[in-house]
A and B are shown apart, each in its own frame.
Chain A
Amino acid sequence: MSDQTLPGSPVTVGGYLARVPGVAFILLAMVVAFQIGNPRFLSITNLSNVGLQASLLLMLALPMTLVILTSGLDLSVGALIGLAAVIIATLLVAGWSIFSALAAAVALGLVVGLLNGFMISYLALPAFVVTLGTMGLCEGLALALTNGEPIGGFTPALEAFYRAAVFGIPVPVLVAAAFYGLLYLVLYRTRFGIYIFAVGGNKDAVHLAGIRANLVHMAVYVVCSVSVALSAVLLLGRTNSAHPTVAVGMEFEAIAAVVLGGTSFEKGQGWLFGTVLGVLAITVLRNGLNVLSVEPSLQVVCVGVLLIAALLIDRNRKRPVARITE
C-alpha cells in the first residue's frame, strides 16, 4: 500500500502487471477452460450473448464503483431497477410516450439518490443500512403497485431496442460501452472525479480544503440511482415484462463485480476498468455454468466462491492499487 503509483510516475511492464487485479487471471483461466470444454464458447454467437448478459450488470456495477470509491455501498440498486421497470411499464401501458416514462424513471432515481445521499453524506449515517432501508421502500412499492404480478403488454419498441445490433454489436453492449466512456471521462478527466477519489480517501481533508465534500458525496449516490433507474429500459427489453422482484439480488453481483475488479472499501482506491473485468468474470462464470446446466441458485454460490478466491489472491500479492489517474 505504501508504494502507490502517483500521477505521472513511469509505468513499467512489471509494474503494470502488478496492478492487474487477481480476477483478470481467473477470467483468463475460465475462458481457456470453457473453450476447451466447449469449442463453441468463443464463437461470435456466444460472445455476443455474453456481451448482452454483461451489459445490464455493467450498468449497475459501473456507478456502484463510484459509490464504493467513496467508502460507501448501495444495496438499493436491485430493488430500484425493479421499481423503475414497474413504473416505466405501468406508464407505457397507460399510454405515456417512452420519453415521458423515462423522465418519470429519472425522477424516481433522483428521489432515491437524494434520499440515500443526504442521509449518508450530510447526516453521516452508515451507507449499508440507509440503502437497506431504501431497498425496503423500493421493493415494497414495486410489490404494492403490481400486487406481485408481472406487467406486460407495453410497446415492443423496448425489446426491439434490446435485440437490435449495429455492425453486429448488440445495442445494449454499445450503451454499456458509452456509459463506461462517460464515467471514465467523469472519473479521470474532471475535477468531480478527483474529488470522488479524495472523498473516499479522506473526506475531512477534502472538506477542510474548501471543497463541498458533502455535495460531492451525495452526488455520487444521485448518479448511481439515476443511471440504475434508466437501466431499467435494458431490463424491460430483456424480459419484455416488468416483474417487481426480478432484479432483487442484482445488487450482490454488482457489488461483487466491483470488489472483484480490485476496488476497495477503504481509502478511495479503485479502478473503473477493473469493474469491467469483474463483470466479465461473473458473466463468463455464469455463462459457463449455464452450459454445464448448473442451477441458478448454485451459480450464485459460485459467484460468492469466485469473490473469496479473488480476494485471497489479491491479499497474497502486494499490489499498488491507488489509481488517481490511468
Chain B
Amino acid sequence: MTTLQAPVSTALPAVPVPMLVRLAIIVVICVALSLISPAFATIDNALNLLRQASLLFLVASGLTLVIIGGGLDLSIGANLTLCACLSASVIKLTGQPVAGVAVALGCGTLVGLTNGLLINRLKIPAFLATFGMLWVAQGIAYWFMAGQVIYGFPAAFRFFGGGFWLGVPVPIWVMLAVGAGCLIFLTRTTIGREVYVMGANEAAASLSGIPIARRRMLLYALSGFAAGLAALIYVARLNAAEPGIGEPLLLPAIAAVLVGGTSLFGGSGSILGTLSGAVILTLIVAALNLLNVGSAWHPFVTGAVILLAMLTDAFAARRAGH
C-alpha cells in the first residue's frame, strides 16, 4: 500500500467536481423535494431559498478568494458576529442606518487586515492566526453585548434584508453583485490572476515579482469586508442582533467552498463553484427541514458534507493519476 503512494507530503492536485455534476445534484434535490412537498416548486419558495443561500454565499465568497490565494480564514463567522453587534448598537444609538453600514464594513475589513498582519508579521500559519481571531472576535462580541439582544431597526435599514426590488429580494441582488464582482476580479484583473499564482506556488509567485504580503492583506481584507456585508444583511433580515449568530455559519461556508470545487491547497477554484455550493448546502438544509430532522443534526450533516467533499476530491485526484 505504502509503496504505491505518491511522495507523502506532496499536496494532491485538486480535480474539482465538474460544474455539471453540481448542477445535476441541485436538480436531483429539487425534483426530490418537489415530489415530497407540493409547496416546494413555487416561485416564492425558490426566492426564499435563494435569499437564504445569499447569506451563506456572501460569507463563503470572501473565503473562496482567501483559499484560492493559498490561505484560510476561520474567523469569518465570528467576524460577522462582531460586525453585526457593533453596527446594530450604532444604529440604535444614532438612528442612522448609514453609520451602521459604515461600522459593519469598517469593522469587518479591520478584522481582516489584522488577520493579514498577524500572518505576515508573526509568520504564523493562516489557520492559527484566524482561529485565534475567531475566539478574540467572539469574546469581544459576547462581552460587548453583555447578554443583551438588540432588535427593532428603522425600515430603511430592514430593506437590505427583507426588501424587494423588481420582485426579487434585495439580498439576492447583493449576492449577484458580489458574485459578479468576484468573477471579474478573479478572471479579468491582473491582481486576480496573481492570486491564483500565489495560491498555486507562493515561492514562484514571489520570485516572479508578485508582492505576496500586500496581496495577502488585500485578500483577508476582502474576506472581512464580505463578512461585514453579510452581517448587515443578516441583521436587517432578522431585525435583531445577538452574539450567537455568526459562529454556526463557519462550517457551512467552508462546506460551500469545498462542494464548489475550490482546492484547499490553493491555486484553483471559482466563485461560480462557491455559488453552486451555497445553493446545494441551502437545499440540503431545506431537505432536512422537510424531512423533520431536528436542527441539532445540522452540524453533523455539514461536517459529513465537508469530509465527503474532501474524500471525493482526493479520490478523483487519485483516479486522474497522481
Contacts and interface: CB of A to CB of B under 8 A. Distances in A.
A133 B307 contact: yes
B181 interface: no
Contact of A141 (B11, B300, B311): B300
Given A140-B300, A141-B300, A207-B2, A119 B310 contact: yes
Contact of B131 (A125, A255, A301): A255
Given A304-B136, A308-B118, A144 B300 contact: yes
A85 B8 CA distance: 35
A125 B314 contact: yes
Given A129-B310, A207-B2, 5 more contacts: A126-B265, A132-B74, A134-B303, A252-B134, A259-B124
Contacts of A151: none
Contact of A134 (B5, B127, B136, B307): B307
Interface string A129-169: 11011111111110110011000000000000000000000
B314 A304 contact: no
A295 interface: yes
Nearest to A207: B8
A138 B302 CA distance: 11
Chain A, interface SS category: helix
17 contacts: A123-B314, A124-B9, A128-B72, A129-B264, A132-B254, A134-B307, A143-B297, A143-B300, A144-B297, A213-B2, A256-B132, A265-B125, A297-B142, A300-B135, A303-B135, A304-B136, A311-B122
B198 to A, nearest CB: 17
A268 to B, nearest CB: 12
Nearest to A217: B8
A265 B125 CA distance: 8
A73 interface: yes
A79 B311 CA distance: 22
A243 interface: no
Contact of B136 (A122, A137, A295, A300): A300
Given A132-B251, A308-B118, A311-B122, A137 B9 contact: no
Q: For this complex, into which size category does the number of interface residues on chain A fall?
A: 35 or more
Nearest to A252: B135
Residue of B9, B254, B298 contacting most chain A CB atoms (<10 Å): B9
Contacts of A315: 122-123
A141 B136 CA distance: 27
Given A130-B310, A133-B310, A140 B135 contact: no
B296 interface: yes
A143 B143 contact: no
A95 interface: no
B286 interface: no
B189 to A, nearest CB: 27
A150 to B, nearest CB: 14
Contacts of B302: 136, 140
A36 B44 CA distance: 66
Nearest to B258: A129
Q: For this complex, into which size category does the number of interface residues on chain B fall?
A: 35 or more
Interface in B290-310: 294, 296-304, 306-307, 310
A15 interface: no
Nearest to A251: B131
A119 to B, nearest CB: 7
Contacts of A300: 135-136, 138-139
Interface in B1-37: 2, 5, 7-12
Contacts of A255: 128, 131
B287 interface: no
Contact of A137 (B74, B265, B300): B300
Interface of A: 73, 75, 115, 119, 122-126, 128-130, 132-141, 143-144, 147-148, 202-204, 207, 212-214, 249, 252, 255-256, 259, 265, 295, 297-301, 303-305, 307-308, 311-312, 315
A203 to B, nearest CB: 4
B140 interface: yes
Interface in B74-118: 74, 118
Nearest to A315: B122
B254 A119 contact: no
A129 B306 contact: yes
Nearest to A71: B9
B122 A147 contact: no
Contact of A126 (B2, B123, B264): B264
A135 B254 CA distance: 13
B139 A298 contact: yes
Contact of B139 (A119, A148, A301, A307): A301
Given A73-B127, A308-B118, A311-B122, A214 B303 contact: no
B314 A133 contact: no
A214 B254 contact: no
Contacts of B138: 297, 300
A33 B145 CA distance: 30
A252 B5 contact: no
A3 to B, nearest CB: 19
Contacts of A305: 136
Contacts of A148: 296
A259 B11 CA distance: 25
A212 B2 CA distance: 8
Contacts of B133: 304
Nearest to B72: A128
Given A119-B311, A136-B251, A124 B8 contact: yes
A295 B143 contact: yes
A306 to B, nearest CB: 10
B110 to A, nearest CB: 15
B296 A147 contact: yes
B306 A133 contact: yes
A258 B246 CA distance: 27
A203 B125 CA distance: 19
Contacts of B5: 122, 207, 214
Q: Which 4 pairs between the two chains have the least Cβ-Cβ distance?
A: A136-B303, A140-B300, A297-B142, A140-B299
